[in-house]
Amino acid sequence: MRSSFRLGKVWGINIYLHYSWFFIFALLTFLLYDTFSKDYSDWVSVMAGVSASLFLFASVVAHELAHSLVAIRSGIPVKSITLFFLGGIAQITREASRPMTELKMAIAGPICSLMLGGIFGLIWYLIWGSTQQNIAYNNPILWLAEVNFILALFNLIPGFPLDGGRVLRALIWQRTGNYKRATRIATMIGRGFAYLLIGVGIVWVISSIFNEISPFQGILYIFLGWFLSNAAGASYRQLEMRDTLQGFTAQSVMNTDYVVIPSNLSLKELVQGYVLPGGRLYFVVADGGRLKGIITLDDIKKVPQTKWDITPVSAALPTDKVVSAHPGEEALSILERMDSQGINQIPVIREGMIVGIVVRENLLRFIQLRSELRV
């Protein structure tokens, strides 16, 4: 993920942080500083702004993990979560197969945010709530309670890909039995809401020129609208891509134009005799037709060039178990396994012998052609 970097792993899920987070973090911290500075010193206001922003980010993480936990318990593996500041996107290996599963996954996040809002509100009440003098003050804990409630309500707006949009999709899906139609309706509503946010943001920024108001809130609306519009479009394109593969098997999409090399070939012989002349990026390694694995250009580059002449291909093969498919396996299932395991090629095996290979690049090209030809 070029636009994000990995933070770590929780419950086996890779957590990524999108680079846009830093922009929103700085913007929100400044806005909070500006708010708190009316009641506190500059130093206290800065610390309160930074702390509140970080706790809000932690609340967003909890919100996304709630979705993922329900997905995992429903038998849907979650590969990764990419976090923005006011939300995140979970990359699941397959969509829910039933409307009620989708509904449970979607509603888990807002419920978590409501609970966090209640916890922060209770903390504020126990410490400051009974002190009449401090009720009028801007309080970071009270702000966290309010913003978690707002986050829950915002996500419940019935526009895809917000949680409310997924709830709406689940309900339409349950009623009509048509998953694609339900997604299209929820996506259209989601894009409409995104454009509304952008419009409000533009009006806010223009108004700030003629009135004594900060333009930063308008910029935040524009950014959120832009993000939601892109996310809605990307989600629907992913649905169309998966829908295009329905009914096709590994045998329909596999590539039979591949090069087989023996496992005792040296890396130097492989590079000079196969890579450079043909420009191929991967090779099937097999002895007597029996698959040993697939070696890629990245695998070769991991071995120092000075050792290529003494290193056999077998020594450079990935140590992970070879992932393979059978000719009758659905193409959609193969794509989901590629996504979940982060691989680009899957060999197709019949009776222990390799008969073809499914390559992600070729699979995506197949989807694009079918989409353009509308077949």
SS3 label, residue 256? coil
Give the end of a domain, one of 205, 237, 269: 237
Same domain, 60 and 162: yes
For residues 218-242, give the mean pLDDT.
Answer: 78
Question: Taking a C-beta distance cutoff of 8 angstroms, is the pair 263, 299 a contact?
Answer: no
- Clarify whether residues 340 and 275 are in a common domain: yes
* Phi-psi region at 287: left, alpha or beta (left = phi > 0; alpha = psi -120 to 50): beta
Question: From CA 214, how far away is CA 208, in angstroms rounded?
Answer: 6
Q: CA-CA distances (angstroms) from residue 303 to 224, 299, 306, 307?
A: 45, 7, 8, 7
Q: How confident is the model at residue 375 (pLDDT cuts 50, 70, 90)?
A: low
Tell me, yes or no, whether 227 and 332 share the same domain.
no
Residue 310, pLDDT score? 92
Residue ending a domain, among 206, 237, 268, is 237
The number of beta carbons lying within 10 Å of the beta carbon of residue 372 is 8
Q: Tell whether 309 and 204 lie within a shared domain.
A: no
168-172, 215-219, 305-309: which range is least confident on average?
215-219
CB 285 within 8 A of CB 296: no
Instruction: Point out the domain boundary residue: 204, 237, 270.
Output: 237
pLDDT over 80 at 8, yes or no = no
Q: What is the pLDDT of residue 117?
A: 92
Residue 254 has pLDDT above 80, yes or no: yes
d(CA 243, CA 240): 5
243 in a structural domain: no
Q: Distance between CA 249 and CA 243 in Å, rounded? A: 13
**Is 314 contained in some domain?**
yes
| Whether 7 contacts 19, CB under 8 Å | no
- Residue 150 in domain: yes
Question: 360 pLDDT exceeds 90?
Answer: no
- What's the domain count of the chain? 2
pLDDT higher than 50, residue 49: yes
Are the C-beta atoms of residues 338 and 361 closer than 8 Å to each other? Answer: no
Q: State the pLDDT at residue 311.
A: 92
Q: Tokens 């809002």 appear where?
A: 117
Q: Are residues 217 and 355 in the same domain?
A: no
pLDDT at residue 86, as a whole number: 58
> Do 194 and 86 share a structural domain?
yes
What is the distance between the alpha carbons of residues 5 and 93, in angstroms, rounded to a whole number? 20
The answer on pLDDT for 99 being more than 50 is yes
**Whose structure tokens read 């197949």?**
366
Band the pLDDT of 374: cuts 50, 70, 90. low
For 15, the domain range is 4-237
Q: What is the CATH number of the domain that holds 358?
A: 3.10.580.10
Q: What is the mean pLDDT of residues 5-10?
A: 74
Q: Does 256 share its domain with 185? A: no
Is residue 107 within 8 Å of 71, Cβ to Cβ?
no
CA distance 85 to 4: 12
Mean pLDDT lowest among 80-89, 192-201, 207-216, 324-333? 80-89
Please report whether residue 242 resides in a domain: no
- Choice between 93 and 204, residue whose per-residue pLDDT is larger: 204
Name the percent of the chain lying above pLDDT 90: 13
pLDDT (mean) for 162-186: 87
The pTM for the full model equals 0.63
